[in-house]
A and B are shown apart, each in its own frame.
Chain A
Amino acid sequence: MEAQLNELKTQALDKIAAASNVKELNAVRVAYLGKKGPITDLLKGMGKLPAEERPKMGALVNVVREEVTVRLEERMAILEEQAINEKLQSETIDITLPGRPVKSGNAHPLTRVIEEIEDLFISMGYEIEEGPEVEKDYYNFEALNLPKGHPARDMQDSFYISEDILLRTHTSPVQARTMEAKGGEPIKIICPGKVYRRDNDDATHSHQFTQIEGLVIGEDIRMSDLKGTLSVFAKKMFGEDREIRLRPSFFPFTEPSVEMDISCFKCGGEGCNVCKKTGWIEILGAGMVHPNVLEMAGYDSKRLTGFAFGMGPERIAMLKYGIEDIRHFYTNDVRFLSQFQRTEV
Chain B
Amino acid sequence: MLVSIKWLKDYVNTQDLPPAELGEKITRAGIEVDAVIDRSQGLSNIVVGYVESCEKHPEADKLSICQVNVGEETAQIICGAPNIAAGQNVIVARPGARLPGGMKIKKAKLRGEESNGMICSLQELGIEGKLVPKAYAEGIYVLPENAEVGSDVITNFDLDDTVLELGLTPNRADAMSMLGVAYEVGAILEEEVKLPEITYKEAEDKASSMLTLNIDSPEANPLYVAKVVRGIEVKESPMWLQQRLMAAGVRPHNNVVDVTNYVLMEYGQPLHAFDYDLLETGNITVRHAKADELITTLDGNERKLSLNNLVITNGEKPVALAGVMGGANSEVSKNTTTIVIESAYFESGSIRQTSKEHNLRSDASSRYEKGVDPNRVIPAAERAAQLLSELAGGEVLAGSVIFDQLQREEKIVNVSPDFINSRLGMKIRLDDMLDILNRLQFKTEAMNNQLMISVPTRRQDIQIEEDIVEEIARLYGYDEIPSTLPETATSPGGLSPYQQKRRIVRNYMEGAGLLQATTYSLTSEKSATQFAMKQTELTRLLMPMSEERSTLRQSLLPHLLESVSYNTARRIDSVALYETGSVFLKGQDELLNEEEHLAIAVTGLWLDNSWQGEKKAVDFFVVKGIVEGLAAKLDVELEFERGELDGLHPGRTAFITLDGRRIGVIGQLHPNEQKARDLKTTIVMELSLVELFKDQTEALVYTQVPRYPSITRDVALVLSKIVEAGTIEKLIRSAGGKLLKDVRVFDLYEGDNLEAGKKSVAFSLTYFDPEKTLTDEEVTAVHEKVVAALIESGAELRS
Binding site for B on A (CB under 8 A): 97-98, 100-101, 103-108, 110-111, 115, 118, 121-128, 130, 132-136, 149, 151-152, 154-155, 159-162, 164-165, 167, 186, 188, 194, 196, 198, 200, 207-208, 216, 218-225, 227-229, 231-232, 245-250, 255-258, 288, 290-291, 305, 329-335, 337-338
Contact = CB atoms under 8 A, between A and B. Distances in A.
Contacts of A121: 493
Given A105-B514, A127-B493, A152 B572 contact: no
A128 B543 CA distance: 32
B482 A224 contact: yes
Contact of A100 (B370, B515, B577, B609): B609
B223 to A, nearest CB: 21
B701 interface: no
B170 A250 contact: yes
Given A136-B591, A256-B474, 6 more contacts: A159-B522, A186-B489, A216-B488, A223-B425, A228-B484, A248-B29
Contacts of A164: 590
B665 interface: no
B483 interface: yes
B597 to A, nearest CB: 13
B584 A134 contact: yes
Contact of B488 (A132, A161, A218, A288): A218
Nearest to A107: B516
B512 A103 contact: yes
A122 B594 CA distance: 26
Nearest to A150: B170
Contact of A151 (B370, B422, B469, B484): B370
6 contacts: A105-B515, A220-B422, A250-B171, A256-B474, A333-B570, A337-B516
CB-CB nearest 10 A-B residue pairs: A224-B425, A103-B513, A222-B425, A248-B30, A256-B470, A250-B169, A332-B563, A228-B483, A246-B478, A218-B488
A246 B32 CA distance: 12
B669 to A, nearest CB: 18
Contacts, number: 246
A222 B423 CA distance: 5
Interface string B576-600: 1110011010000011101000000
A160 B423 contact: no
Contact of B464 (A106, A136, A208, A255): A255
B406 interface: no
Given A149-B352, A257-B470, A194 B521 contact: yes
A106 B541 contact: no
**Most interface-central of B426, B474, B486, B576 (chain A CB within 10 A):** B486
A220 B487 CA distance: 8
Interface in B512-542: 512-522, 539-542
A136 B509 CA distance: 34
A182 to B, nearest CB: 12
A232 B473 CA distance: 22
Nearest to B575: A334
A196 B425 CA distance: 35
Given A194-B521, A245-B478, A132 B513 contact: no
Contacts of A218: 486, 488
A163 B104 CA distance: 59
Contacts of B591: 132, 134-136, 165
Interface stretch (B211-219, B316-324, B495-503, B725-733): B495-503
Contacts of A100: 609, 612, 614
Given A224-B425, A224-B426, A229 B485 contact: yes
A123 B27 CA distance: 34
A105 B466 contact: no
A330 B520 contact: yes
Instruction: Specify the main secondary structure of chain B where it touches its partner.
Output: mixed
A256 B423 CA distance: 10
B657 to A, nearest CB: 26
B473 A223 contact: yes
B102 interface: no
A249 B592 contact: no
B506 interface: yes
B490 interface: yes
Contacts of A337: 515-517
Nearest to B510: A105
Contacts of A107: 506, 510, 516
B106 interface: no
B481 A97 contact: no
Contacts of A222: 422-425, 484
Contacts of B172: 250
Contacts of A105: 509-516, 576, 578
Contacts of B567: 332-334
Contacts of A127: 491, 493-494, 496
Given A152-B170, A220-B487, A256 B469 contact: yes
Contacts of A332: 515, 517-519, 563, 566-567, 577
Contact of B540 (A161, A196, A232): A161
A128 B499 contact: yes
A333 B478 CA distance: 43
Interface in B599-637: 606-609, 611-612, 614
A219 B517 CA distance: 42
A106 B516 contact: yes
Interface string B362-376: 000000011000000
A106 B484 contact: no
A127 B494 CA distance: 5
Contact of A248 (B348, B470, B509, B572): B470
Given A103-B512, A107-B516, A152-B170, A216 B473 contact: no
